[in-house]
Chains A and B, each alone.
With several copies, the nearest count.
Chain A
Amino acid sequence: MISKKVNSVSEATEGIGDDMTFMFGGFGLSGIPENAISALVKSGVKGLTCISNNAGVDDFGLGLLLHQRQIKKMISSYVGENDEFERQMLSGELDVELIPQGTLAERCRAAQAGFPAFYTPAGYGTEVAEGKETREFDGKMYVLENAFKADYGFVKAWKGDEAGNLIFKGTARNFNPNMCGAAKITVAEVEELVPVGTLDPNQIHIPGIFVQRIFQGEKYEKRIEQRTVRTKNE
């Protein structure tokens, strides 16, 4: 068994530097690599290009990096719910590239799987397709999209083992599996690092080969963005 275990978040983020491209798993605040983000804030690296479906909120998630002006460019599908983001974007401090969510997921998966490019119908006829090759297959039009290239991928799983095998929970899974192995170095943080041999080989969401470093996160806040509930007598 090839061990991917590192003993701390600082060891996990070794090698990061200014002007790099990072991927972050998560949808909204669900399934984001909280501990890696904290470490990046502390590290002070800047000029970052961040590939992440969302940009966090003002005081959590990638919002923390935005607040410190560490991000140069965001590549996302949806960036609402973030005043500081809006301010930086409108003032021109922050570059933003918006791409369809399914395209975002597949550009990660293409990088993971060694595909340089693929044709997708999303965005055809819109400004998303401007400057891109389009092509007809069976009477329908498609846009050529490229695999992402990133230096580090930061993902968060529920359970993992020293071999780097990961299991996600609920909708906190989202982009995390698609980003594993899509960057040069994939750093996985888990809520619980379990002994090798504990996870059923049949039930592993991401085999360890896609992960370079794994550590157990110190704590998880797991903030809820929209707490919607019903009352029992409803």
Chain B
Amino acid sequence: MLDKTGIAKRIAKEVQDGYYVNLGIGIPTLVANYVREDIEVEFQSENGVLGMGPFPFEGEEDADVINAGKQTITTLPGASFFDSATSFSMIRGQHVDLTILGAMEVAENGDIANWKIPGRMVKGMGGAMDLVASAENIIVAMMHTNKRGESKLLKKCSLPLTGVGCVKKIVTNLAVLEVTEKGFKLLERAPGVSVEDIQNATEGELIVEGNVPEMII
């Protein structure tokens, strides 16, 4: 079973040379730390920066240089700043190659819910609805079950949707799954996790074909 860092490490393997990547807050943010050093990747943040670097050194923070999580950041050579409309042109126009974000629920048809829990204070969808409606390549990073032990991979989302039929791949603490026309196809098991464990934690249709390999991280 993976921890959050493990999920981030596994997702980092999905990032390919030449990719522009948008990372959501939470586990997705960690992915940047584990991308292979021998490939070129640029990180975009929807508040208006391309070519994000690491956090600034103490004392070098600039209130005018932040990411979408409002964290102070730095930029790398070749970076650029732009307005919000241009930023979403990059996203909506599918110039960003990969979007990695968290979710509360994913349905077997690729629907995603990650912005609202009825009855609770709603903070808003931010850029998530634009991202999931636009990206060709969306990977969800999340725990397989919620705090009450209930599956987050469902036949149908119970929460208000963020987007429909858009998730392509899911990496959880238990498995790597692909969203197919028939349901969640199990691609890899986390170390020490059995197909049965995954089956028990998955409410939606789980497709198991042949021998499912254990992840290599």
User: Does A touch B (CB under 8 Å) in the complex?
Assistant: yes
Shortest Cβ gap from A145 to chain B (Å): 11
Q: Which residues of A contact B49 (CB under 8 A)?
A: 170-171, 201
Q: How many residues of A contact B (CB 8 A)?
A: 80
Assembly CA distance A174 to B87 (angstroms): 9
Q: Which of A80, A201, A227 contacts B79 (CB 8 A)?
A: A201
1/0 per residue, CB under 8 A from B, across A188-232: the answer is 000000001100011011011110000000000011111111111
Q: Tell me whether B54 and A230 are in contact (CB under 8 A).
A: yes
Q: Which residues of A contact B122 (CB under 8 A)?
A: 79, 96, 98
Q: How many residues of B contact A (CB 8 A)?
A: 75
Assembly CA distance A95 to B152 (angstroms): 31
- Given A103-B130, A228-B73, A27 and B84 touching (CB < 8 A)? yes
Stretch among A8-16, A40-48, A63-71, A121-129 lining the B interface:
A121-129
Which chain B residues in 64-103 approach chain A with CB under 8 Å?
64-73, 75-96
Q: Tell me whether B93 and A122 are in contact (CB under 8 A).
A: no
Residue in chain A with minimal CB distance to B40 = A2
Assembly CA distance A6 to B144 (angstroms): 44
Q: Which residues of A contact B44 (CB under 8 A)?
A: 209
- Given A79-B124, A178-B83, A120 and B92 touching (CB < 8 A)? yes
The contact sample of 26 A-B pairs, CB cut-off 8 A, is: A27-B70, A80-B123, A101-B88, A101-B129, A102-B88, A105-B84, A105-B85, A108-B85, A109-B85, A113-B89, A122-B92, A125-B161, A125-B164, A127-B161, A163-B42, A173-B81, A175-B83, A201-B51, A207-B86, A210-B90, A222-B64, A226-B66, A227-B71, A229-B56, A230-B54, A232-B57
On A, residues with C-beta under 8 Å from B are 1-3, 27-31, 53, 76-80, 86, 89-90, 96, 98, 100-106, 108-109, 111-115, 120-128, 158, 161-163, 165, 168-178, 181, 196-197, 201-202, 204-205, 207-210, 222-232
Please name the 10 residue pairs, one residue from A and one from B, whose CB atoms are nearest each other, closest first. Answer: A102-B88, A114-B92, A197-B77, A102-B130, A163-B78, A125-B164, A113-B89, A80-B123, A105-B84, A170-B64
